[in-house]
Structure 1
Amino acid sequence: MSIVVRDVREHELDSVLALNNAAGPAILPLDAATLRSSFDSAEYFRVAERDGTIAGFLVGFGSDSGHVGDNFAWFRARTPAFFYIDRIVVASRRRGGGVGRALYADVQSYAELRHPHLCCEVLLEPGTDHALLFHGSFGFREVGQNVMHNGHRAAMLMKELCSYAWVRETYGDALPDAPWMPMPRAQSRMLAHRPTGTCA
């Protein structure tokens, strides 16, 4: 069956939370309030669906967001503009089946139109070599390491998004309205709640 990547729906947050907290030691646990905050504020929060069930998800924030976190702050102190992958999780039974690659292809397609760099981290724990190899195969390189407040050490990874400069020079802030190019979630919610008759 094919993999479908789409925006998460509010009623799916409990399933996403369970998926996250069953992912193992390489993924930090979440509580419902933190996940809800991500749903309300993340620029990108999408799930990968396979055989009618959620097989993975990815959450991301632009560098100008109000996101709070050790690793996000590390990148913001060193890089003027970027898109940050806060979390990617793939269900254990779906690992190796292309779900992670589908999510990364989708988030790169989104980010390269809006941000010059794509950033993330991998916890340097026993058994995470596969995650470093996965990211290396996508063109990420380590730009430093960060010791988080909880004592975990993370490899800080970055990838230059080569299309960004051309998109910026060609379109500026006025990207065309195309069905394959989703609007940032925060902007979508703002438009959805704008009173009728209000000027843009």
Structure 2
Amino acid sequence: MSIVVRDVREHELDSVLALNNAAGPAILPLDAARLRRFFDHAEYFRIAERDGTMAGFLIGLASTAEHDSSNFRWFHERYPDFFYIDRIVVASRRRGGGVGRALYADAQSYSELRYPQMACEVFLEGANDPVLLFHGSFGFREVGQHVMPGSGIRAAMLMKSLCSYPWVRETYGDALPDTPWILQPRQAPAAQHRPTGTA
């Protein structure tokens, strides 16, 4: 069956929370209040459905977002403009079935019109070679490592240059066409979105 990627809906937050907190040590746990802040403020918050069931989700933020993650701050201190993937989670029974690639492809389609790079991190604790390989096969490269305060978890900090961005920026500047597939994927209730096409 096909994978459908769409905006998250408010009534699905409990399911998103359960999916996140069942993901294991490769994903930091969430509580309901923090997840609600993502729902209210994240620029990008979409889920993937397979066979009509939630199979995964991805949360992304602009480099200008107010976000207390030390990993986000690491990128913010070094790069002026990027789209940050705070977390991607795929249900254990759906891993290896293309859900992660569908979410990343959708996030890239959104971000390459607005940002020169995508950023994310992969924890280096445990057996995370498949996750690093996945990101490498999707074009991410390690640009450094960061040890998270408090937890001591070491993360590989990954960046991917978005090759379409320079052309889009040169051709359209601050005025992307008013076409449905280009619009913001969601309008978070309290978000302060960057204007469409603004660098």
Same fold per superposition (TM over 0.5): yes
Residues of 1 paired with 2:161 and 2:42: CA distance?
21
SS of equivalent to 1:71: helix
| 1:161 counterpart = 2:198 | no
> 1:116 matched to which residue of 2?
116
Mapping for residues 45-64 of structure 1, pairs under 5 Å: 45-64=45-64
Counterpart for residue 194 of structure 2: none
Aligned to 2:181: 180
* Cα distance between partner residues in 2 of 1:43 and 1:49: 20
Q: Supply the AA of the counterpart residue of 1:147.
A: V
Q: Which runs of 5+ in 1 are unaligned?
A: 192-200
After TM superposition, give the deviation of residue 6 of structure 1 in Å: 0.2
CA radius of gyration, larger in: 1
2:35 aligns with: 35
Secondary structure (helix, strand or coil) at the match of 2:165 reads helix
Q: Is the 8 A contact 2:118 2:160 kept in 1?
A: yes
CA-CA distance at 1:32 after TM superposition: 0.5
Q: Which has the higher contact order (CA 8 A, sep 6+)?
A: 2
Distance 1:99 1:30 in 2: 21
Say whether residues 1:151 and 2:152 are aligned partners.
yes
Q: Deviations over 1:39-67 (max 9, x none)?
A: 00000000000111100000000101112
TM-superposed deviation, 1:140: 0.3
Q: Determine the structure 2 residue equivalent to 1:84.
A: 84
For residue 189 of structure 1, report the CA deviation from its aligned partner: 4.5
CA distance in 2, matches of 1:9, 1:161: 28
Alpha-carbon displacement from aligned partner over 1:80-114 (angstroms, at most 9, x marks no partner): 10000000000000000000000000000000000
Normalization by structure 1: what TM-score? 0.92
Shift of the alpha carbon at 1:179?
1.9
What residue is the counterpart of 2:26 in the other structure? 26
Retained in 1: the 8 A contact 2:40–2:189?
no
**1:100 match:** 100
Whole-Å Cα distance in 1 between the matches of residues 185 and 152 of structure 2? Answer: 33
Maintained 8 Å contact 2:40/2:190: no
- CA RMSD after TM alignment: 1.4
Residue 126 of structure 1: aligned partner: 126
Matched residues in 2 for 1:140 and 1:163: separation?
15
Name the amino acid aligned to 2:16: V
> Mean Cα displacement is larger for which, 58-67 or 85-94?
58-67
Contact 1:42/1:185 (<8 A) preserved: no
After TM superposition, give the deviation of residue 123 of structure 1 in Å: 0.3
Kindly provide the amino acid, as one letter, of the partner of residue 125 in structure 2.
E
Tell me how many residue pairs correspond in the alignment. Answer: 190
Assess if the C-alpha contact under 8 Å between 1:140 and 1:157 holds in 2: yes
